Amino acid sequence: MTDKIRMWLLFGILCIMMNWLENFAQPLKRNATIPLSDRIGELAFRYNRSPLGENVFVFDQTMNMSDIQTLIDSIYSGQLYPVNEFSDNRFALLFKPGVYHLDVKVGYYTHVIGLGKSPEETVIIGAVRSIASQGGHVLCNFWRAVENITIIPTPDSVNTWAVSQASPLRRVYVKGNLKLYDGPSSGGFMANCRIDGTVFSGSQQQWLTRNSVFDKWIGGVWNMVYIGTINAPEENWPEKPYTTIALTPEIREKPYWVFSGKELKMKVPGIRKNSCGVEWDDNSRGKTLEWNDFYIANPVVDDAKSINKALKKGKHVLFTPGIYFLTESIRITRPGTVVIGIGFPSLIPVNGNKAIEVSDTDGIIVAGLLIDAGTVASELLMQVGEPGSKKVHATNPVFLFDIFFRVGGPREGSTSHCLVVNSNNVHIDHLWLWRADHGNGVGWNKNRCANGLIVNGNDVIIYGLFNEHSQEYQTIWNGENGRVYFYQSEMPYDPPSVDIWKHGDTCGYASYKVAGHVKVHHAWGLGIYNVFYDAPIIVDQAIETPPALEDSLYHKVIFWLNGNKESIVKSIINGRGGSVNASNRKAVMK
């Protein structure tokens, strides 16, 4: 390139920047923790006037659609892979009931929420979509969500929701077809959704669909689980990767926001037993929480002390988008308390403390939070029930929805365990526990984490357990009568040697361990995968249970994805089932 060409290129870039600054970078009050991109400028100032903070935008159908589209595009352009995968920016886009003509592109840490009593009250004509950006895959399309909205694709188009972990669709109605891939993809979660047309799963390696309905489902790679879903594919394992369970034994759908009159209210659905299909009715089995019932947490002014003070006064808590550094645990002690986030707020302990402690009491709901390990190692990030909890909560269980843990990735951090459940009758609906395999502070001796999940309580149910890369067992189940519907796990990528990753005479750690004293345990659709890059690792079994429980875990698959060509997983469960290595990559059991 000649000096003259370089000069003209630099001049052109300078002109573009000057024009952009003149038109968009208007002075705007800033949030020091989660600054808005300067590209958003005047439009952001116009559309984020709500009590929910600068990164929450509330739209109604009378607003200028072109302006809304420009604002959404501006937010999206700053939330793309790979540059913004670990950004501190967080956004919530709230749509009042009405009809909108928009193409809503959803990037990292973006939460799209309709505010109707039913998804059919808030309609997007166009698209609400997650697609591949740089790299041509969606293996890292994490941390985004759409809830309580109707999507009408433009004629002859298919709405695309191409994601991997931590990207739920809830209470979504697609009046057309839905495509779940845009290049290689690695799993997702959909609940309480209706798709009028066909769902094309394409490259999706694994997926959980709960209490939904569609006309038809096409495709499936390794582990596709459907529970309480109308028109789910017919089960024919292992010839086809489908696990189909007719009824969901017990569930409460995630609470959702509605705009009623001049303010927001929260609907908390009632508990359904043996259910199938969607629940969108505003029925009497649930309850309504008023806006004044909530303490609105703001990352600029709030810390653990102010939030705990509000909880002690009987308030529910709404975490608005941002990063919350906690010098002590958030303590939830009052029965029936709701603690919920919008826009993927992150809670980070800074003193080696827990981020959240839930008391052994009835009916608490925790939803929509990212919990990140801090640089000072914590023994535990979240605890449900005190050690030794004995109470029975069968009539009013604790519910967790869309809780996502990270150890490393955004920043260096360590913990011994991400989540420990001591209480009985806890129900978990979508959980991802992730020791980072890429990002910041990543390495065998940097982002330390022994276990993702430990369950000590009895009668615990999990719908959608994603648990990856911890350095010992990913999951340890000590409680009786546990049930897991869908399990996705990758073993750690980075054990440095066979000897380091041994315990006693056993080579490697199983991903899923049911303790030897457990008498009753059931799980459906377990997919466990390995990528050992740093050494020729040997693993004796992917799943470890008491011998009497081997046949209580249904539809098991293990897969050798990549890595050192001498590595091997020798069996699926307790020495039974096939092995996987570079030349025999897949093994399946009923």
Q: Exposure of 158 by Cβ count < 10 A (0-12 exposed, 13-18 middle, 19+ buried)?
A: middle
How many Å apart are CA 137 and CA 569, to the nearest integer? 27
Cα 369-495-515 angle, rounded to 5 deg: 65
| CB of 495 closer than 8 Å to CB of 507 | no
- Which residue, 361, 326, 317, 331, is CA-closest to 346? 326
Given 54, 85, 490, 544, the catalytic residue: 490
Q: Tokens 């009378």 label which residue?
A: 62
How many Å apart are CA 277 and CA 244, to the nearest integer? 13
Joined together, the tokens standing for residue 308 give 């705990």
How many Å apart are CA 111 and CA 75, to the nearest integer? 12
Q: Where are the beta strands (DSSP E) in 306-441?
A: 316-319, 323-326, 330-332, 338-341, 346-349, 356-358, 365-372, 378-384, 398-407, 415-421, 426-435
- Which residue, 464, 555, 525, 487, is CA-closest to 191? 464
Return the CA Rg of the chain.
Answer: 23
- CB burial string 99-138: b at 16+ within 10 A, e below: ebebebbbbbbbbbbbbbbbbbbbbbbbbbbbbbbeeebb
What is the phi-psi region of residue 473: left when phi exceeds 0, alpha when psi lies from -120 to 50, beta otherwise?
A: beta
Cα 380-383-387 angle, rounded to 5 deg: 100
Strands 521-532 and 543-544: unpaired
Q: Give the containing element (helix H, strand E) for 305.
A: helix 304-312
490 is catalytic: yes
Contacts of 63 (CB under 8 A, 6+ apart): 47
Q: What's the half-sphere exposure (Cβ side, CA atoms, 13 Å) at 467?
A: 30
Residues annotated catalytic, as ranges = 490
